[in-house]
């Protein structure tokens, strides 16, 4: 007669029962960078854009606080602008959120063709969009992002997008700082 092997069976039974009592991982809120990028990109869909190409890294976008900006962005806090400059001193990989309202092709900067050849590589893309890193104030209730949109030869707009957060992020203002 073979000895009974209760221990492995009992251990397996205890382990399988205990799994149902493990704590559930809490839902992690989307980080502020992702939420800001989502809003800035989804605004393009609201403008009628369907698909865009975005480089996989940011550029060094600097902004001077001119009289024009003071007039058009009076709510811009100096600490937000200072953090924006700090975040955009050098190029950074650009991590975009998923589940956007617009189709995004993210590509290496070297693989993006000139705008007049864009449709040869990305047939449904309507523009090349570049984004800066976001700058935030200390309590993360204000953010600043630079967004440029190239949709044809000599068709370009560079904008500063100011966002604010009470419960959720919203676009407070968009100011054109470059145009062709």
pLDDT tens-digit profile of 41-52? 999 998 888 899
φ, ψ of residue 129 to 5 degrees: the values are -120, 130
pLDDT tens-digit profile of 83-139? 999 999 999 999 999 889 999 999 999 999 999 999 999 999 999 999 999 999 999
Query: Residue 52 in contact with residue 126, Cβ under 8 Å?
Result: yes
Q: Which two tokens stand for residue 5?
A: 């092997």
pLDDT bracket for residue 30 (50, 70, 90): low
Q: What pLDDT score does 112 carry?
A: 95
- How is the chain split into domains, by residue range? 27-179
Find the radius of gyration of the CA atoms of the chain: 24
Q: Which of 125, 116, 123 is nearest to 55 (CA)?
A: 125
The pTM is what? 0.81
């Amino acid at each position: 007669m073979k000895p009974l092997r209760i221990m492995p069976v009992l251990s397996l039974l205890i382990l399988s029962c205990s799994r149902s009592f493990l704590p559930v991982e809490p839902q992690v809120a989307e980080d502020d960078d992702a939420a800001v990028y989502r809003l800035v990109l989804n605004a393009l869909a609201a403008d009628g854009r369907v698909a865009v190409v975005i480089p996989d890294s940011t550029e060094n976008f600097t902004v001077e606080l001119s009289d024009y900006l003071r007039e058009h962005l009076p709510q811009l806090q100096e600490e937000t602008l200072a953090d924006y400059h700090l975040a955009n001193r050098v190029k950074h990989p650009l991590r975009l959120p998923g589940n956007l309202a617009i189709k995004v092709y993210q590509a290496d900067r070297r693989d993006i063709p000139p705008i007049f050849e864009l449709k040869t590589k990305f047939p449904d893309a309507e523009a090349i969009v570049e984004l800066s890193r976001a700058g935030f104030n200390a309590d993360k209730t204000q953010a600043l992002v630079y967004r440029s949109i190239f949709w044809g030869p000599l068709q370009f707009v560079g904008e500063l997008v100011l966002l604010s957060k009470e419960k959720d992020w919203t676009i407070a203002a968009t100011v054109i700082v470059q145009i062709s």
